[in-house]
Structure 1
Amino acid sequence: MTATTDIVAKLWNLCHILRDDGITYHQYVTELTYLIFLKMAAETGAEDQLPEHHRWADIRKHQGVEQLTFYKELLIHLGTYGSAQVQAIFQNAQTSLRQPRILKALVEAIDGLDWYSAREEGLGNMYEGLLERNATEKKSGAGQYFTPRPLIDSMVALMQPKAGEYVQDPAAGTGGFLIAADRWIKAHTNDLWDLTEAEQYFQRHNAFYGMELVPDAHRLGLMNLMLHDVSGDLQLGDALSEQGTRLHKADLILTNPPFGTKKGGGLPSRDDFTYPTSNKQLAFLQHIYRGLKPGGRAAVVLPDNVLFEDNTGRDIRRDLMDKCDLHTILRLPTGIFYSQGVKTNVLFFTRGRTDKGNTADVWVYDLRSNMPQFGKTRPLTREHFIDFEAAFGPDPLGKAPRTDEGEQGRFRRFTREQIAARGDNLDVTWLRDEGADDALPEPDVIAAEIIDTLRTALEEMEALTDMLGSDEDADGAVAEAAE
């Protein structure tokens, strides 16, 4: 066991103490973020970012109720004072702790960790290990913000981010894509030393940016970026609102947008979308291909419904294939996300120089059929993507020579004409999933699928209720005006 995994295990085991205080797993990781930030500032000599008398040693000075009271005041103070980075991480921060003994246990446990070894192995690796542990805990619900690292690393390796490029994630979560892109560029530029001083400045301050809607996920993302020495501009906001229009055009977009429909059935408040829709994935897809520079590329995780949904979905797919070269679709195996039943894909595309006829062929790689069920007992690894990466080829634009493996293989080519004949349905399958008819999914998979179905139905009912309410309000206003 490495020092990093040992520290993560010790930190995670502390969550059992918090059950007595009614703290959820996700709240616990947020709580740890506050305390770890303060402790690491003390360990790394970076306490000049913090206002005096609001540092780790100051928490240690207090005991009992006085310590908890001071800690609550400290969180509010750090959200207002200190460096911009400190204020962003502690913005609207508040503790979920109610018992002084719980805070004391956390402070003493964090104080007792092997911080020297953690620094040697990388504080970012430690924090990311904690986020991954949280994401794999079914009770936390945090997996919705966490894309499996093997998948992220594979997408980044295929897209090959380059120094000097703007890299965007409009649904950044905990910042995994931006961090992986930074790691790739540093690995291919001798940790940026091969670049000029101006190029180094761009990479450190301007190359990476994005947006995250959920305040807690945004906070975790800021912390994760900081610990990986990535000074990206991660904004708190909604990319499907007017805020999204302020994200400048990107050379590369890497993202895993949230699944589902917009709460209340409302439409994105974006006047630049040709096809308004309450389906968040379809709305994000429009943001992505419209947000690319000519020649810019994207790799985006999307659920199956984006590939086959009729009406607006079909219109958006046509628009995508007109404006971009949608050269590759990867059908992902099931069980790799927190919602076990969800079926997902990665779409790889390049923005055209014109807005018409950019897609000639779409290559589909089926990594789902006849694959094992992934989960806690069988984790997804980078090795599972080796064959796909070899079939994809070394060109990030998808132009490397490829081989159609036929009906028995996993990689097939479909012309734009063939797709049009299917009504622009991209949900293409050809392999028979052996054993699919013989065995039921695991109970947690079935339960997850039922929950997803009920959630979608509830959201649609809420949307209908809002629409009827709006109509009644309008009728009432007309009646009042008539009187």
Structure 2
Amino acid sequence: MNTQEIVQKLWNLCNVLRDDGITYHQYVTELTYILFLKMMKERGQEEAIPEKYRWDQLRSLHGEEMYQHYRDLLTHLGTEAEDDLIRQIYYNASTNIDEPKNLEKIIRSIDDLDWYSAREEGLGNLYEGLLEKNASEKKSGAGQYFTPRPLINVMVKLIDPKPGERCNDPAAGTFGFMIAADQYVKEKTDDYFDVLDLRTFQVHEAFTGCELVQETHRLALMNARLHGIEGKIHLGDTLSSLGAEMGEMDVILTNPPFGTKRGGERPTRDDLTFPTTNKQLNFLQHIYRALKKNGKARAAVVLPDNVLFQDGDGRRVREDLMDKCNLHTVLRLPTGIFYAQGVKTNVLFFERGTTDTGNTQEVWFYDLRTNMPSFGKRNPLTEAHFDDFIKAYTAEDRTQVKDSRWSRFTREEIRAKGNTLDLGLIADESLSAYENLPDPIDSAEEAIAKLERATSLLNEVVEELRKAEGMNK
């Protein structure tokens, strides 16, 4: 049984919990609590878990006794576990399962999986497959801006992280960028086996991040541990004073959250030159300020179109970026590659200069959006779609690349256009307006998912009002 088949079996267990009203995201969190115990057993790493709360003890119980023991386990590991990572994974943990028989069904089903095959294929790969499955299900809401693995791999390959470099994702999500970077470096260095000190650095210090949402932070910790990474993943807001501590990085790879700060507030940290309510502009400022000022530190960042053309603070941030960094490449991404229709994004590749002025002389653009097929569940993005871009990006002489999607603008030309970076898209008059319409099935599914989430929220409001009404009687 391969990883994909095991992931599907785990995912099908969600049907067991439908009667408990558990959402997809709650299910993945619940699975994380249970899978961690099982995977620690499979990896022979149970010594940090009190014997009373290990997998074999849990699976030996039945019914109500198992259910109560499981609840005690969540509380104990979240508050009293000696291992800091275990305590963080189970911090504030509580079960959404109401029926003891459902919990037992899940534990028995997990115990019966083909764990020999899972170990052979990698427990980290199994867990990451589960996270990707969650993101691909529109009803989960988890994948609205989930970065597709092919895009992550391409960004990592082109940024080329090296052993001994400090890599960071200030909007870590489930830690996908850093896990891909770790795998990339391992493949290029024979898994660090030559140098013990280097291996220690790579495991404990090379890959770090920050995640604001506690449930997602929990998933990131689990994902990192199963991939053998023990670098610090902060729980908090990069746009607060915490972010100011994450500096002197060699590599930053990230896909920051889109939108404006809740309530129209500005970031609480005081070291940004142009604080704004736009999250992406604040994250962009954080990123180029957090890179080492050595001419080698570099970043690849996924950002929406509005960062390229927004006036006011947007223009000032772009000017500051092009002064402090060599913004050498902008990849215009196709629509439909994220699990939300109509999201238009780009990848900005840049290097921090040794000075604060005049670092960008020219910017190369690659249009991977115009005349591209409609991507979605039925036509997924693959690394092969980036082949021509990679050839252009890595060309020894970029001016010799013969590709209509590849274009260059000097800093003077960009300045003359008002410092907009909304450039490089092919003008194609023959393109029918209908060809850019989203897949009607995907659109319908997205609309249904949004309605279901809205209905769920309304039901919660009604339930709270009923409770309040009962208390007032």
Tell me whether the two structures share a fold, i.e. TM-score over 0.5: yes
- C-alpha displacement of 1:5: 1.2
Instruction: Give the match for residue 461 of structure 2.
Output: none
Instruction: Give the match for residue 315 of structure 1.
Output: 316
- C-alpha displacement of 1:85: 1.5
Q: For structure 2, which runs of at least 5 residues remain unmatched after alignment? A: 451-473
- C-alpha displacement of 1:55: 1.5
Output the CA distance in 2 between the equivalents of 1:91 and 1:145. Answer: 26
Q: Does 1:219 align with 2:214?
A: no
Instruction: Give the match for residue 456 of structure 1.
Output: none
Question: Deviation per CA, 1:413-437, whole angstroms, max 9, x where unpaired?
Answer: 0000111111111011441355341
Instruction: Give the match for residue 146 of structure 2.
Output: 146
Instruction: Give the match for residue 433 of structure 2.
Output: 437
In terms of mean alpha carbon deviation, does 224-233 or 424-433 score higher? 424-433
Instruction: Give the match for residue 476 of structure 1.
Output: none
Equivalent residue of 1:254, what SS? strand
Q: Does 1:37 align with 2:14?
A: no
Summarize the alignment of residues 465-476 of structure 1 with structure 2, pairs less than 5 Å apart.
none
- C-alpha displacement of 1:165: 0.5
Equivalent AA in structure 2 for residue 437 of structure 1: A
Match of 1:401 among 397, 412, 425: 397
Q: Contact 2:42/2:119 (CA < 8 Å) preserved in 1?
A: no
Summarize the alignment of residues 276-291 of structure 1 with structure 2, pairs less than 5 Å apart.
276-291=275-290
Output the CA distance in 2 between the equivalents of 1:445 and 1:286. Answer: 34
- Paired residues in the alignment total 444
- C-alpha displacement of 1:204: 1.6
Q: Does 1:417 align with 2:418?
A: no
- C-alpha displacement of 1:341: 1.1
Question: Deviation per CA, 1:39-94, whole angstroms, max 9, x where unpaired?
Answer: 11222221111023111122223322222222111101001233112111111111
Output the CA distance in 2 between the equivalents of 1:40 and 1:436. Answer: 52
Summarize the alignment of residues 85-234 of structure 1 with structure 2, pairs less than 5 Å apart.
85-144=85-144, 146-194=146-194, 196-234=195-233
Equivalent AA in structure 1 for residue 439 of structure 2: E
Equivalent residue of 1:221, what SS? helix
Instruction: Give the match for residue 261 of structure 2.
Output: 262
Question: Deviation per CA, 1:278-308, whole angstroms, max 9, x where unpaired?
Answer: 1110110000000000121000000000000
Output the CA distance in 2 between the equivalents of 1:432 and 1:255. Answer: 30
- C-alpha displacement of 1:447: 8.9
Instruction: Give the match for residue 330 of structure 2.
Output: 329
- C-alpha displacement of 1:339: 1.5
Change in Cα spacing, 1:62 to 1:75, as seen in structure 2 (3 Å) is same
Q: Contact 2:324/2:357 (CA < 8 Å) preserved in 1?
A: yes
Instruction: Give the match for residue 48 of structure 1.
Output: 47
Output the CA distance in 2 between the equivalents of 1:267 and 1:124. Answer: 37
Equivalent residue of 2:52, what SS? coil
Equivalent AA in structure 1 for residue 237 of structure 2: D
Question: Deviation per CA, 1:183-236, whole angstroms, max 9, x where unpaired?
Answer: 111111111023x32222211211111100011111111111111111221111
Question: Deviation per CA, 1:458-479, whole angstroms, max 9, x where unpaired?
Answer: xxxxxxxxxxxxxxxxxxxxxx
Change in Cα spacing, 1:430 to 1:146, as seen in structure 2 (3 Å) is closer
Summarize the alignment of residues 57-76 of structure 1 with structure 2, pairs less than 5 Å apart.
57-76=56-75
Equivalent residue of 1:53, what SS? helix
Q: Contact 2:212/2:237 (CA < 8 Å) preserved in 1?
A: yes
Instruction: Give the match for residue 363 of structure 2.
Output: 362
Output the CA distance in 2 between the equivalents of 1:111 and 1:42. Answer: 11
Change in Cα spacing, 1:145 to 1:342, as seen in structure 2 (3 Å) is closer
Q: Does 1:9 align with 2:5?
A: no
Instruction: Give the match for residue 389 of structure 1.
Output: 390
Question: Deviation per CA, 1:73-132, whole angstroms, max 9, x where unpaired?
Answer: 110100123311211111111111111111011001001001111101110111111111
Equivalent residue of 2:329, what SS? strand
Question: Deviation per CA, 1:348-383, whole angstroms, max 9, x where unpaired?
Answer: 000010000110000000000000111100011111
In terms of mean alpha carbon deviation, does 50-59 or 269-278 score higher? 50-59
Q: Contact 1:51/1:81 (CA < 8 Å) preserved in 2?
A: no
Equivalent residue of 1:42, what SS? helix
Instruction: Give the match for residue 305 of structure 1.
Output: 306
Instruction: Give the match for residue 271 of structure 1.
Output: 270
Instruction: Give the match for residue 462 of structure 2.
Output: none
In terms of mean alpha carbon deviation, does 316-325 or 65-74 score higher? 65-74
Output the CA distance in 2 between the equivalents of 1:312 and 1:71. Answer: 51
Output the CA distance in 2 between the equivalents of 1:417 and 1:329. Answer: 17
Output the CA distance in 1 between the equivalents of 2:241 and 2:302. Answer: 23
Change in Cα spacing, 1:243 to 1:334, as seen in structure 2 (3 Å) is same
Q: For structure 1, which runs of at least 5 residues remain unmatched after alignment? A: 395-399, 453-483
Question: Deviation per CA, 1:115-150, whole angstroms, max 9, x where unpaired?
Answer: 111101110111111111111000101114631110
Change in Cα spacing, 1:136 to 1:437, as seen in structure 2 (3 Å) is same
Query: How high is the sequence identity, in percent, across the aligned residues?
Result: 59
TM-score (norm 1): 0.89
Output the CA distance in 1 between the equivalents of 2:163 and 2:120. Answer: 26
Equivalent residue of 1:334, what SS? coil
Q: Contact 1:135/1:338 (CA < 8 Å) preserved in 2?
A: yes
Output the CA distance in 2 between the equivalents of 1:403 and 1:68. Answer: 66
Change in Cα spacing, 1:9 to 1:442, as seen in structure 2 (3 Å) is same
Q: Contact 2:337/2:376 (CA < 8 Å) preserved in 1?
A: yes
Output the CA distance in 2 between the equivalents of 1:246 and 1:414. Answer: 35
Q: Does 1:345 align with 2:346?
A: yes
